[in-house]
Structure 1
Amino acid sequence: MPHESSPAHHHFDEYCALKAAPPGSSAYYALRQAPLARQPLLSALFALRQELEQTVRQTSDPTIGRTKLAWWQQELASLAAGRPSHPVSLALAAHHIDIARESPLLEALVTGFEMDLNQARYLDFANLRAYLDKVGGAFAGGVARITAREPERADEWAAPLGNALMLAQLVQDVGNDARHGRIYIPIDELQRYGVTAADLINRRYSPAFSELMRFQTDRAREGIEAALAGMPAAERKTQRTLRAQSAMAMALLDEIERDDYQVLHQRIALTPIRKLWIAWRAARAR
């Protein structure tokens, strides 16, 4: 009987909502712009990404990270086979008509975050792109498909947006990532601007660092603008979550720029009230 299973539903939906989008976070305001009926599935997808990201980024020992990621690989295989056990997998199974069809996306996410355990530096942008495509592009494609009119074509325009949103996140997290031994700014770009990995790790600001960060910020911003311009007119209304995320990312990049890229010793963020307003307005823009 349906009402008997509803407490369990409530449990995993609640788990996903808190994991994916704690109140005040950007994800919280972005997810709230989606149609009510689709919010639980979107929350589950965001929660999965969060689980995988935390698995690799909050583990100082790569061996433990690999073990946890291997567990997730098995869990996602079980999910595709109809035997989920984790609250996030249970939510994905409950809210997606055919979650097995999303196997390529789930695999891309795991492979992407696995790169964080195997690689702490990227030679050039082409190398970084392989990472962005999985943790950014593939993920945004999955988000887009949930509400898209033509889900089978969503990757074409959503993947570039996901990559650009990921670049914006990396700009915000430069200092924190460097402290944890991960530098996502490609080595050839550091060299071009005369900034060293040690500068980032030791929080050394300089005119060269500001120039480097202006380049990173511009690339993220231009990527978001180009991807939004490439979104089909028929899909603009369906993509309230991605559009809200984009508007918040753009406002954040402006904020970082205004603060002269002081991202090494702190994490610059928007206030919750600004996020609320930006997300609400972006989701309703023509």
Structure 2
Amino acid sequence: MTALFALRREFEETVKEVSDPAIGRTKLAWWQNELAALAAGTPTHPVSKALAASLPDVKAECPALQALLNGFEMDLDQARYLDYPNLRRYVQAVGGTFASLVARSARTKASADGSQSPGWSAPLGEALLLAQLVVETGNDARHGRIYIPIDEMQRFNVTAADLINRKYSDAFTELMRFQTKRARDAVRTALAAVPASERRSQRTLLAQGVLASALLDEIERDGYHVLHQRIALTPIRKLWISWRAK
């Protein structure tokens, strides 16, 4: 599980923390080769080696790992999305794929059927990413990426310049209220779909879900001031919320 989260972070840093897209593509090409080496049983990166040592069938998981990498590659191809259906392609590729990997890993650890992704896992992963995009609205905009669909920004009369220049307004508040509600509703629906028989083994994703919901509530109480700061829960509060997740 730790190795999966570490790999996701490696992919994310590869495309989001480079100023030159050419460098990002070079790093992506390296990871493409590393995934091939992982499938062949000859990984070189510490995270890849950890996956090889912990996943029961690494080769079977490589297509999903490849799909996850391809999802992050979309960040090098486009920084804006025309509408929600287009954004959802990214959300499915990154959020849904990763949650399915985590869910299968947890199923295997619990000696259950780890060969198939539970049907609720991808929707929960998508919901978690939607929540993350709300939290990171300002930071993403400062790095040239806006994940709020263009048609929705136009509907609420908010421009890309407003986000980049940290301009708060009634229109921005209404836009973020809409984005937050969609993410929160998606998280709650996805959490409710997790069957009782899997809730114990899937505590990692359940904890992420309740933490995301609590963070969205906090953002709402703060008035959606996400352009100049990254609103977060305190460590103690996160521990308490996670402990109660079941």
Amino acid at match of 1:105: A
Distance 1:90 1:268 in 2: 34
String of CA shifts for 1:210-257, please: whole Å, max 9, x gaps.
111011111111101111111122111111000110111111001000
State how 1:125-140 maps to structure 2 within 5 Å. Answer: 125-140=84-99
* Counterpart among 62, 79, 91 of residue 120 in structure 1: 79
2:166: which partner in 1?
203
* Counterpart among 225, 230, 233 of residue 196 in structure 2: 233
State how 1:106-255 maps to structure 2 within 5 Å. Answer: 106-148=65-107, 149-255=112-218
Amino acid at match of 1:89: S
Contact 1:80 1:103 in 2 (8 A): yes
CA separation of 1:123/1:155 partners in 2, compared to 1, >3 Å: closer, same or farther?
Answer: farther
Question: Aligned pair 1:93/2:56, yes or no?
Answer: no
Amino acid at match of 1:242: L
Amino acid at match of 2:92: D
SS in structure 2 of the partner of residue 85 of structure 1: coil
Distance 2:195 2:115 in 1: 13
1:167 Cα shift? Answer: 0.4
State how 1:16-27 maps to structure 2 within 5 Å. Answer: none
Question: Aligned pair 1:259/2:216, yes or no?
Answer: no
Amino acid at match of 2:166: R
Dislocated runs of 4+, deviation >4 Å: none
1:153 Cα shift? Answer: 4.1
Distance 2:55 2:114 in 1: 13
Amino acid at match of 1:67: T
Distance 1:89 1:150 in 2: 23
Contact 1:164 1:224 in 2 (8 A): yes
Distance 1:184 1:244 in 2: 24
1:150 Cα shift? Answer: 3.4
Distance 1:232 1:155 in 2: 10
Identity of aligned residues (%): 68
Amino acid at match of 1:214: R
1:71: which partner in 2?
30
SS in structure 1 of the partner of residue 224 of structure 2: coil
Amino acid at match of 2:129: M
1:31: which partner in 2?
none
TM-score, normalised relative to structure 2: 0.96
TM-score, normalised relative to structure 1: 0.83
Distance 1:118 1:199 in 2: 23
Distance 1:48 1:67 in 2: 17
Bigger relative contact order (CA 8 A; separation at least 6): 1
Contact 1:137 1:163 in 2 (8 A): yes
2:16: which partner in 1?
57
Distance 1:151 1:168 in 2: 27
SS in structure 2 of the partner of residue 117 of structure 1: helix
SS in structure 2 of the partner of residue 126 of structure 1: helix
Distance 2:116 2:182 in 1: 25
Contact 1:140 1:161 in 2 (8 A): yes
Distance 1:270 1:86 in 2: 32
1:154 Cα shift? Answer: 2.5
Distance 1:166 1:122 in 2: 15
RMSD over equivalenced CA pairs, Å: 0.9
- Structure 1 unaligned blocks of 5 or more: 1-41
